[in-house]
């Protein structure tokens, strides 16, 4: 096992350990760094260290299971999941709450990695991949990939409030802003807006609105980069991303797309179907919270009253 030497020395041959493990589909780089720090990974019989580099000659063990350092690129599967209310984005919950991983198709040696997270009260588009390197690239702050959310708010919203959220608001963890805000209809005290931003900090959309004294009553992610939720994918259902969309995501991340010839086994009630499909019923204790609300009307970008950037250019 080769490790980093002094700052002035040339890097040791091989690849970073967490990159090799991510490529094998074991998780995201961040998650695998935590595994290494926790002592779950061994290289040539010894506990691995952060910064280690490995090559084809090295013997890797993760939780006692053998992993090939020179393994071929795993199948690059990508799923789009329409997350319902009440599910959390962790694999195991001490409280026994349902998770977004519960209904995904089973894999062999690889595992599903979520591209980002949505909190328990947020619904909508969530991507999963078996390629940890792709997940890392898409989630990294430097990617500046745009996310779009449909937001239902309660309370009066003024022009000054909209302008403030585009210009920038100081939150507890630093400044934040929306790229643009589009009004999408509503009645009474409830109104819908579509907002976009290029980062995924914890509860950032909610906190920006709350900073204006407005309560968010519904929040749904409807777009991630170039990926939209097809209308037939009901809540609690998933689809495998078409090859064209998968390739576009890899291009967006600056990675090479290698389509797999082995299809996923997607049989089951959680795979979305184009006709006659029904949404998955939410947990019983959350049926009241999941009651459908009036959906926002479709708007064009030109209807946006506020957009960041000079010239208020359309995308």
Two tokens, residue 234: 């009901």
Closest by alpha carbon to 143, among 90, 197, 202, 91?
A: 197
Active-site residue, from 63, 70, 102, 119: 119
CA distance 20 to 37: 16
Residue 20 bridge partners (DSSP): none
Cα separation, 147 vs 130, whole angstroms: 21
Q: What is the CA radius of gyration of the chain?
A: 22
Closest C-alpha to 189, from 220, 171, 170, 216: 216
Q: 């580099």: which residue's tokens?
A: 53
> How many other β-carbons are positioned within 10 Å of the β-carbon of residue 116?
17
Q: Which helix (H) or strand (E) holds 221?
A: strand 215-224
Kindly report the backbone phi and psi dihedral angles of residue 300, in degrees, each rounded to the nearest multiple of 5, phi listed first: -100, 155
**245 catalytic, yes or no?**
no
CA dist 134 and 143 (Å) reads: 11
Q: At what angle do helices 29-37 and 132-139 cross, to 10 degrees?
A: 110
Give the whole-angstrom CA distance, residue 207 versus residue 172: 9
Q: Would you say 25 and 110 are in contact if contact means Cβ atoms under 8 Å apart?
A: yes
What is the rounded distance in angstroms from the CA atom of residue 206 to the CA atom of residue 202? 9
Catalytic residues: 119
């Amino acid at each position: 096992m080769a490790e980093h030497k002094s700052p002035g020395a040339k890097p040791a041959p091989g690849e970073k350990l967490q990159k090799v493990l991510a490529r094998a589909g074991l998780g995201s780089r961040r998650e695998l760094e935590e595994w290494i720090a926790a002592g779950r990974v061994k290289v040539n019989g010894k506990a691995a260290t952060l910064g280690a580099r490995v090559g084809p000659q090295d013997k890797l063990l993760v939780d006692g299971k053998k992993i090939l350092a020179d393994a071929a690129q795993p199948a690059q599967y990508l799923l789009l999941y329409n997350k319902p209310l009440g599910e959390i984005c962790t694999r195991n919950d001490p409280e026994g709450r349902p998770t977004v991983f519960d209904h995904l198709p089973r894999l062999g040696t690889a595992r599903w990695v979520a591209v980002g997270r949505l909190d328990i009260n947020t619904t909508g588009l969530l991507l999963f991949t078996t390629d940890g390197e792709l997940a890392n690239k898409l989630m990294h702050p430097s990617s500046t990939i745009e996310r779009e959310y449909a937001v239902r708010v309660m309370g009066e919203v003024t022009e000054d409030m909209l302008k403030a959220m585009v210009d920038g608001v100081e939150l507890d963890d630093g400044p934040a802003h929306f790229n643009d805000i589009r009004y999408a209809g509503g009645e009474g005290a409830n109104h819908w807006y579509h907002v976009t931003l290029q980062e995924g900090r914890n509860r950032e959309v909610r906190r920006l609105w709350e900073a204006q004294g407005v309560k968010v009553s519904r929040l749904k992610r409807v777009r991630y980069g170039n990926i939209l939720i097809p209308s037939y994918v009901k809540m609690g259902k998933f689809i495998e991303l078409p090859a064209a969309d998968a390739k576009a995501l890899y291009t967006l991340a600056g990675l090479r797309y290698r389509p797999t010839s082995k299809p996923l086994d997607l049989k089951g009630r959680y795979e979305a179907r184009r006709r006659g499909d029904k949404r998955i019923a939410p947990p019983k204790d959350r049926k009241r919270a999941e009651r459908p609300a009036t959906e926002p009307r479709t708007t064009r970008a030109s209807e946006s009253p506020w957009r960041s950037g000079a010239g208020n250019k359309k995308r």
